[in-house]
Amino acid sequence: MKSWLARWDVTPAEQAGMTFGEVLTLVNIRRVEIACMLGLFTKAIEFATGLRTVQIVVEIALALAFLLASLALRRGGGPWRRRGFVAVFLVLTLLDTQWAIAAMGAKGRLTSGYPMMLLSLTLLFVLPPLAFAVTLIPLLLTYCWIVLATATFPAEQVIAIVNAAIVSVIAVVAAALIHAGRRSDYEQKRTIRLQNDRLTARNSELDTLMAITAHDLRSPLYGLRNLFDLAVRRAPREPELPLAVLREAKASIDAMLGLATRLLDAHAAEHRPLARLAHEDVRRHVLAAVDRIQPLAQSADVRIAVDLPDRPLIATLDAGALSQILDNLLSNGVRFSPTGGILTIGAARDDGSVAIEVRDRGPGIDPAGYDLLFKKFHQAAGARSEGAPSTGMGLFIVATLADRMGAAVRCEPAPQGGAVFVVTLSAGGTET
């Protein structure tokens, strides 16, 4: 039973990549199939019982044609072709019912076939209420003309017209309720699907975080354990060894603290409120960042070159966020620069904005990896092996903070090799 119901409806998996209008169109295309099958069943019974008129033959032929067309449109077809097909089917079905009523009326008999067919189609299909109401107006007028042309008592005519009008109103209300319920169901499933996608992405992030944290903590913890084992074994013979072990243990502890700091920085970049944006001179922040990175650059034998104009470069920024962006870009530049290399940082005005460039002469970045460069936990190849291990958080922090303060960041290949990271800030204030 479920397989047949799925055949005449749209599954949640199919809805995932569809708009609400596309869902309704596909549902109605599939409902044409069941309507045609029911129509063929009814006409087959009438034909078998001896009611073999030209109208029955035409109705059977039309039902077969619509059935085959619906099967073809299930597999493909433009949205307007599908919608037009459903509209033509519904209108022709109601007109055919009125034709049958007119044939019966020629014999002086009125039937309730039209109101019954109208209600049946309303319950079977999911129809936009406004378009449905507009379509029913000329159909109701046509039905009234057929009833008035029937040779029967005026009272019967009045009752038939009133019943058809009442059923038409009920059909429009029912179509509106069904349509609203279907939209609510679509929005609810869409919300659940988006929440599931976010949870899946968050679980994936947590799995990656656990793997990176375990991997990066294991090396310093092994180092600590080996140092302590050494101290325990040799302390009786070398009383000064425990103090030396404590000095050596500091490097492992610093590595673990560095890992924890980078993870906390990434969390803060996403969730911590920024201070109020202000108009400040970018040059001051660049020079301060260079002073902070100098010890690391000197230990790696990398020279920092600064290229700044003499005039102030006023931009709209958050001081803390910009400092963290520059620290991450410069530390990355040191890690990827060769021994004896030069890391250049500069800033300049650029068409109503202020652009800060950090240029290294390292191995560069594969253009195929640009899309992943600013993703969380992405680790680029080519960094120095010494120093604290990378968690893949630095550029994610840069992109997140830049976005939160209305700036933009991008990466380009450097002409002489290496990579150029450009942070673009909105210019603000007056430069003097």
Chain segment 250-288, per-residue pLDDT in tens = 766 776 776 677 667 666 666 667 767 889 999 999 999
**Cross-strand partners of 411:** 421
| Mean pLDDT value of segment 178-207 | 87
Q: Which residues, 6 or more positions from 259, have their beta carbon under 8 angstroms from its beta carbon?
A: 213, 216, 217, 388, 389, 391
| DSSP-based three-state secondary structure for 301 | coil
- Predicted TM-score of the model (pTM): 0.58
> In this predicted model, what pLDDT tens digit does every residue of 350-386 receive, in sequence order?
888 999 999 988 887 777 666 677 776 666 654 444 5
> In this predicted model, what pLDDT tens digit does every residue of 151-160 receive, in sequence order?
788 888 898 8
Query: CA 374 to CA 397: how far, in whole Å?
Result: 8
Per-residue pLDDT, 383: 46
Residue matched to tokens 């319950």: 123
pLDDT above 70: percentage of residues in the chain: 84
- Per-residue tokens: 247: 């000095």
> In this predicted model, what pLDDT tens digit does every residue of 299-310 receive, in sequence order?
889 999 999 998
Q: Which residues, 6 or more positions from 219, have their beta carbon under 8 angstroms from its beta carbon?
A: 255, 389
Residue 389 clears pLDDT 60, i.e. is over it: no
Cα angle: 285, vertex 287, 291; to 5 degrees: 115
